[in-house]
Amino acid sequence: MAMRPKSEMSPPPSDQRDAVIEELRKGAQLADCLRQQLELIPELGRRSAALANVSNISTALVSSASMLESNREQYSCSSSDPGAAAYAAGASGSGGGTGARNGAIARTRKAKHRRGTHGEELPIREVLTETPENDGFHWRKYGEKKILNAVFPRSYYRCGYSDEHRCPAKKLVQQQNNSDPPVFMVTMINDHTCSSLFPADDQPHSSSNSATANSQVLDFTKASPSSAAGVWRLKKEEDAGMSVTVPSYTHDELASYSSLPLLSPKEWEMEMEMKSLFSHHSGGGT
């Protein structure tokens, strides 16, 4: 909803932008180191909560770097530098080489012109990320399509509450390459309206705890067992004997282990409010 005057912002010089990207990448690497250190925490509760937080930090950093790279792609596209665009789109050439590069560029351009049923321009946001599943929303897959000149199929998700709350948010996820970890192009279409509905009215049929009532949970732990991008990383790191970026604990478990878990800022505020309310009454029920 909030229309940021992004288009009015002049791009930083590319040197500076590259430096920022570099710093963000370093931050992500450091977060990874930190994660390894956190593995050593003996207490399961603290460890898993800390791991989850580090994972979020890492995701935020990688996403930010990707966004900057996307911007670079836009600017360099307009100034005729397809090489940079291909780089920004994650086309590292590892995917089989059957014209994936061209596909990535063409697709990116096309996504900018996506339209709704009435021909109106839809709000589109494209992000390159290694963790397409880790955006805190509940998505439901409704299709998958092999895309021309693309090595990997594109997956189509809609908000898990698109029915209940008429939330128009959709998300297209397409793996860009086969690197380790793989990079995914995530195209977000429309904003979530469901998230603004949750604080107002609890879902009547939901179980009584607030974490499930608010749907912005990382429930990709139970996502598709075969091809959903969300599980890719889990499976892979499991194979490698590593511990997991997004641990396979449920949101509730994490929430009970620690008070610092996977809440969106909005949820976090609510939780805090709830807690202060309860501490006001502190044991004085009715």
Q: Which of 206, 213, 205, 203 is nearest to 251 (CA)?
A: 213
Give least dist CB 143 to DNA, A. Answer: 3
Nearest approach, Cβ of residue 218 and DNA (Å): 13
Opening angle at CA 188, ends 194 and 52, nearest 5: 75
State which residue, 97 or 119, has the beta carbon closest to DNA: 119
Q: Between 6 and 205, whose beta carbon lies closer to DNA?
A: 205
In the bound state with DNA, the residue whose beta carbon lies nearer, of 79 and 208, is 208
Check: CB of residue 158 under 8 Å from CB of residue 170.
yes
The token pair at 51 is: 């791991």
For residue 110, the minimal CB distance to DNA (Å) is 7
Q: Is 9 helix (H, G, I), strand (E, B) or coil?
A: coil
Q: What is the DSSP string of 133-166?
A: T-SS--EEEEEEEPPTT-SS-EEEEEETTTTTS-
Q: Is the dihedral of CA 251, 252, 254, 258 positive or negative?
A: positive
Q: How far is the CB of 154 from DNA (least distance, A)?
A: 5
Query: Are the beta carbons of 262 and 254 closer than 8 angstroms?
Result: yes
The residue among 65 and 172 lying less far from DNA, judged by its C-beta, is 172
Return d(Cα 254, Cα 48) in angstroms, integer.
7
Whether 246 contacts 54, CB under 8 Å: no
**Least Cβ distance, residue 204 to DNA (angstroms):** 14
Angle at 85 between CA 81 and CA 88, to 5 degrees: 140
For residues 15 and 68, the answer to whether their CB atoms sit within 8 Å is no
Give the shortest CB-195-to-DNA separation in angstroms. 17
Please identify, using beta-carbon distances, which residue of 146 and 281 lies nearer to DNA: 146
For residue 249, give both structure tokens: 């604990």
Handedness of CA 224, 152, 94, 101 (dihedral sign): negative
Provide, rounded to whole angstroms, the least separation between the CB of residue 67 and DNA: 20
Interface residues with DNA (CB under 7 A) are 103, 107, 111, 113-115, 117, 140-150, 154-156, 160, 170, 172, 222-228
Nearer to DNA, 4 or 115 (CB): 115
We find the least distance from the C-beta atom of residue 48 to DNA, in angstroms, to be: 19
Residue closer to DNA (CB basis): 66 or 174: 174
In this complex, which beta carbon is closest to DNA, that of residue 88 or of residue 159?
159
